[in-house]
Structure 1
Amino acid sequence: MIEYTLHGPVSQERSRIRVMSALRENRFPQAVLIDGPAGIGKKALAMEIAKALQCTDPNMRPCGHCFGCRMAEDSGSTEKWVVPMESDEAHARSSDDVAPGSKAKTIEDFKKAYIEEIQKNPYRVDIFSAGAFISVDLIRAMTSAFAMKGDRVRTVIVSDADRMNESAANAFLKTLEDVPADTYFILTTSSREKILQTIRSRCLALHLLPLSDNEVRGEVLKFAGEDFDESALTDDIVGLAEGSPGKALYYAENGKGWLDLSVDFLQKSLKGDYTGLFLQLKETTLEDPYMANRFLEVLSFLLADLLREQAGATLRMPETAHKVDMAQFPRIDATALELSLVTVQETMSRIESRRITPMMCLQTLSLKIFEGYK
């Protein structure tokens, strides 16, 4: 019997054991959907599974050195991936249509760049832009590659499968209804509910759990690169990440200022120092809708921690929560904090709708938050 060994964090061992058992017993399905919070290693597991499926070693898989394993790790094998792309990237010409010697970027060039970034750090949460999506053309390009003859196992990783638009989802569903022999699909998503139920029903569901704080630190340092400032990986940043190395890395690089700003936002709103707060907000990058909502995620987490503090529960961001010094504001009780969380979520929805500028939404939030309790 061929033995399979998939590597990864201890916290996710149960999911890997399930996959290894299916591989060992030759009952692995042709479509798998890996879901879980952003940045916890879904793409990393997908790549491990792809190597195991393509490996040809007669005893231990994935071996890491056979032709199948090397092909699974080759970023140039772009037909083995479907990734969200910007509209102009997805509509770039194929390498088959570009004149010899042309320096124009092809769709394969764009895809290869994305794959390289994923392979470099599969935990990253900011590889794809907010406007990137999986179009029907990308699905058709994937299926057209099936016409190529060969007797090897074919794997296709569909990254962020929830970003398929309606046409792409319907086209992919047709593919799942008649999967070619020796072809396996590995889908990853942080929003399982956004994927067609008919697609979900045809996939083996694998749910990945968040990592422990120690595992988060270890995985961040493993993939962050030589220029990463380890001192930025504070206890509060790790707590904010909630078991996601990808989020920890993102917040270590971008979130320190947001933690301080979230404290100032609450304090100045409660004290009525709106002029000072508005001037402070104008000096940030929060005019961008995506960045504004990332800041509001941090603010929501801080409010939730203040709610934990009132309940006597363990804080995830103790240093930042204590900076707010809620003793200054005795009228702010648990009900006020719960209502403030709802107000922040409503603001995020308004920003996402793009009908009102993010800065106006943030200014309005500062006026409305804790309304009736100031």
Structure 2
Amino acid sequence: MSEDKPGVLDGAIPPAENTRLFGHDEAQAFLAQSYRSGKGHHAILIEGPEGIGKATLAFRFANHVLSHPNPATAPERLADPDPASSVSRQIASGASHNLLHLARPVDEKSGKVKSAITVDEVRRAGKFFSQTSGTGNWRIVIVDPADDLNRSAANAILKILEEPPKQAMFLVLSHAPGKLLPTIRSRCLPLKLAALDDHAMHQATAHLGLDIDGRTLAAAQGSVSEALKLVNYGGMDIVAAFEQVLSSQGPTARKAMHKLADALSSKDAETIFAFFVSHIGDHIMGRARQAALSGDIRTADHFARLSSSIGERLTVAQAYNLDRKQTIISILGELAA
């Protein structure tokens, strides 16, 4: 993660500062037209895989709304934000009085980003809406992502969504909307975004100065954040090491396990560890789907249960601060078996 921008990957542009968005033309057109009609929903659930531009789209739309507070005279399309405009400068610096970005806060003691969006963060939204806008403009809250809300925070957000203030707008982001409270989903207008196609991926990564080959492009699966992890965080090496563990036996396999576990449990390995957890999840569910499609329901059920078991084990290990290396070795041993 970037040292001066907690929560932002190395090589990425913070969404609040990003003036370009690649792909999602239909979603952009829908937001612009919906707002211009004056009948836009007060809460929009922008959902889709991680790293495809959901936050950039949210900030882009917020910039559009705050730059054109009268829907009837707003442009029919979302344009690239003008970095020189006062609205863009305020949004980029986090100084806008009309926009609040709710994300996982930084722990003052450790300096690391917390594991969840807490109820204290949501209370900031309540205070934000209670203050009268000096310009009479819209008040916009971006929840980024709502998947990170803990239970208390989710219930607190729900209360605001149930009785939204006048001229208030929520842009709720989610990588996995099925995990959100059904009551939150029911109060939002869903806007589904797909993973980026190859053309948009090449444009987006080139915009970041990232040169990706065909193998990396395939592994990234339409996600710019995955491409950054693969290139800037050694993700391709982690994938190769994992494949070696699965294809080896005996002492060779044990040596490969320990080497991979050392890399994933080293200091400042949080980003690549999260990448690894996601990768093994995809691997297991891929095996489950493959078995199900071939009619082997018993094996499919086994892998589905294994996915759940590993998820629970990782959650317990994090909650009780258990030795990460031993947890990883245990999981790798089970997968290799």
Q: Cα gap change, 1:71/1:362 in structure 2, threshold over 3 Å: closer, same or farther?
A: closer
Find the aligned partners of 1:213 and 1:307 in 2 and give their Cα distance: 27
Contact 2:140 2:170 in 1 (8 A): yes
Aligned to 1:169, the other structure's residue is in SS state helix
2:22 maps to what in 1?
Answer: 9
Q: Does 1:134 align with 2:97?
A: no
2:96 maps to what in 1?
Answer: 77
Aligned to 1:273, the other structure's residue is in SS state helix
2:163 maps to what in 1?
Answer: 178
Find the aligned partners of 1:359 and 1:89 in 2 and give their Cα distance: 24
Q: Does 1:362 align with 2:328?
A: yes
Aligned to 2:264, the other structure's residue is in SS state coil
Give 1:45 deviation, angstroms. Answer: 0.8
Instruction: Give 1:1-374 correspondences, 5 Å limit.
Output: 8-10=21-23, 12-56=24-68, 58=73, 60=75, 64=81, 67-77=86-96, 80-88=100-108, 129=113, 131-146=114-129, 147-150=131-134, 151-222=136-207, 224-225=208-209, 230=211, 233-254=212-233, 255-268=235-248, 270=249, 273-281=252-260, 283-286=262-265, 291-292=272-273, 294-299=275-280, 343=306, 346-354=309-317, 357-369=323-335, 371=337
Query: What amino acid is aligned across from residue 40 of structure 1 in structure 2?
Result: I
Q: Cα gap change, 1:289/1:41 in structure 2, threshold over 3 Å: closer, same or farther?
A: closer
Q: Cα gap change, 1:294/1:7 in structure 2, threshold over 3 Å: closer, same or farther?
A: closer
TM-score by length of 1: 0.67
Q: Percent identity over the alignment?
A: 22
- Number of residue equivalences: 299
Find the aligned partners of 2:289 and 2:123 in 1 and give their Cα distance: 49
Contact 2:45 2:189 in 1 (8 A): yes
Contact 2:140 2:169 in 1 (8 A): yes
The structure whose Rg is larger is 1
Give 1:366 deviation, angstroms. Answer: 4.4
Q: Cα gap change, 1:284/1:70 in structure 2, threshold over 3 Å: closer, same or farther?
A: closer
Find the aligned partners of 1:158 and 1:149 in 2 and give their Cα distance: 20
Give 1:276 deviation, angstroms. Answer: 2.5
Unaligned runs of 5+ in 2: 1-18
Find the aligned partners of 1:172 and 1:363 in 2 and give their Cα distance: 39
1:332-355 deviations in whole A, cap 9, x for unaligned?
x99989966864663344123216
2:13 maps to what in 1?
Answer: none
Q: Cα gap change, 1:178/1:252 in structure 2, threshold over 3 Å: closer, same or farther?
A: same
Q: Which moved more, 1:166-175 or 1:200-209?
A: 166-175
Find the aligned partners of 1:338 and 1:199 in 2 and give their Cα distance: 31
Give 1:185 deviation, angstroms. Answer: 1.2
Q: Cα gap change, 1:347/1:290 in structure 2, threshold over 3 Å: closer, same or farther?
A: farther
Give 1:139 deviation, angstroms. Answer: 1.8
Find the aligned partners of 1:347 and 1:166 in 2 and give their Cα distance: 22
Q: Cα gap change, 1:368/1:141 in structure 2, threshold over 3 Å: closer, same or farther?
A: closer
Find the aligned partners of 1:370 and 1:89 in 2 and give their Cα distance: 39
1:86-138 deviations in whole A, cap 9, x for unaligned?
34389xxxxxxxxxxxxxxxxxxx9xxxxxxxxxxxxxxxxx84x33222222
Query: What amino acid is aligned across from residue 173 of structure 1 in structure 2?
Result: L
TM-score by length of 2: 0.73
Find the aligned partners of 2:264 and 2:330 in 1 and give their Cα distance: 17
Find the aligned partners of 1:278 and 1:74 in 2 and give their Cα distance: 44
Find the aligned partners of 1:14 and 1:173 in 2 and give their Cα distance: 28
Query: What amino acid is aligned across from residue 22 of structure 1 in structure 2?
Result: S
